[in-house]
Amino acid sequence: MPEGQIVKAISGFYYVRTPEGDVQCRARGVFKKRKWSPLVGDRVQFNYTENGEGVVTDIYSRETELIRPPIANVDQAVVVGSFREPDLSLDLLDRFLVHAEREGLEILICLTKRDLAGEEAEVDRVRAIYNPAGYPVLITSVREGIGIDVLKKELAGRLSVFAGQSGVGKSSLLNAVLPSLELATGEVSRKLGRGRHTTRQVEILELPEGGQVADTPGFSQLGFTGMEEIELSACFPEMALRAPDCKFRGCLHKNEPGCAVQQAVERGEIDRGRYRNYRQFLEEIHEQRRY
């Protein structure tokens, strides 16, 4: 039975890439009955139909699965934020980091529009927040060509997903990596302070270096449906490192005595802003369990 990888999904059609080319497929009705839908990134089996199209008949087990953006089998998450237009949102950045950590993905933080940023101290501040948590931070500017060659090396040989707030420059970065794409880009609304969506669906793109990258629509909010409070701190690496030293097992790092995480915050070893976001996310998880 032929098989391949779903590289794009539009209006109920799944485009399956095979060595012979892409095949436009529908999904069998059994998936709808099971409330299980194919995702871009899935490895699938399919049957050809008489008109040369196909029908997806089976989905192989997924290594990873993201909800927003909806994609399967990603190796690396490239979380994109911009210094300006729109201004960097550490809340949104941390939200996606939590979901990428939960799926066990390799993570690269990529900050764009360095040419619009202020003094070097602004760049150093971001690195000071995320480097101690174990995250590499790549600074880029498409306009000035900063960091593009390093980004190409980071993408080689992997399936990476680009995700970030609308208007941060994901499509511009991809155009810099693959100029032949000529992906549409949009300006940031001055009134709203956020970008217009220029990517309408998730699509996997082939890279000359042998890897793949997924272009995805921007997101403006990312919740924690299905996550338990006890899971959250494991998605903050700097907290997970210190949790075994807490006095109580199952410590939520809120106001428990002998909490190693709170002590690390007081000593300046964990960024206070990251910790505030953790507490906010914890409250959101608690609230959604009440309803």
Distance of CA 55 to CAs 16, 33, 46, 51, 108, Å?
Answer: 10, 16, 5, 11, 36
Q: What is the pLDDT of residue 164?
A: 80
**Listed residue (221, 110, 94, 85) closest to 161, CA to CA:** 110
Q: What is the pTM of this model?
A: 0.85
Residue showing tokens 């699965």: 65
Q: What are phi and psi of 17, to 5 degrees?
A: -85, 130
Report d(CA 50, CA 190) in Å as an integer. Answer: 51
Residue showing tokens 């790092």: 253
Mean pLDDT of 221-249: 93
Q: What is the pLDDT of residue 188?
A: 42
With both helix axes pointing from N to C terminus, report the angle between 148-155 and 170-177 in degrees, rounded to the nearest 10.
80
Q: What is the pLDDT of residue 219?
A: 60
Residue showing tokens 């399919």: 46
Q: What is the pLDDT of residue 121?
A: 86
Q: What is the pLDDT of residue 214?
A: 87
Q: Who's near 171: CB < 8 A, 6+ residues apart?
A: 183, 184, 185, 198, 199, 215
Q: What are phi and psi of 21, to 5 degrees?
A: 130, 180
229 pLDDT above the threshold of 90: yes
Higher-pLDDT residue of 286 and 30 is 286
174 pLDDT above the threshold of 50: yes
Which residues are known binding-site members? 112-115, 164-172, 246, 251, 253, 259
Which residues are known binding-site members for Zn(2+)? 246, 251, 253, 259
- Split at pLDDT 50, 70, 90, the class of 54 is very high
Q: What is the pLDDT of residue 183?
A: 58
Q: What three-state secondary structure class fits 103? A: coil
- Split at pLDDT 50, 70, 90, the class of 277 is very high
Range list of H helices, 131-200: 148-155, 170-177
Higher-pLDDT residue of 61 and 96 is 61
The neighbour count for residue 252, using CB atoms within 10 Å, is 18
Which region holds residue 226: left if phi is over 0, alpha if psi is between -120 and 50, else beta?
Answer: left
Q: Please work out, in degrees rounded to the nearest 5, the angle formed at the alpha carbon of residue 122 by the alpha carbons of 116 and 123.
A: 85
- Split at pLDDT 50, 70, 90, the class of 215 is confident
Report d(CA 82, CA 117) in Å as an integer. Answer: 9
Domains of the chain, earliest start first: 3-61 (2.40.50.140), 66-215 (3.40.50.300), 229-289 (1.10.40.50)
Which residues are known binding-site members for GTP? 112-115, 164-172
Q: What is the pLDDT of residue 58?
A: 93
Mean pLDDT of 44-69: 91
pLDDT (tens digit per residue) in 103-124? 899 999 999 999 998 788 889 9
- In terms of average pLDDT, the best of 33-47, 130-144, 212-226 is 130-144
Report d(CA 146, CA 209) in Å as an integer. Answer: 19
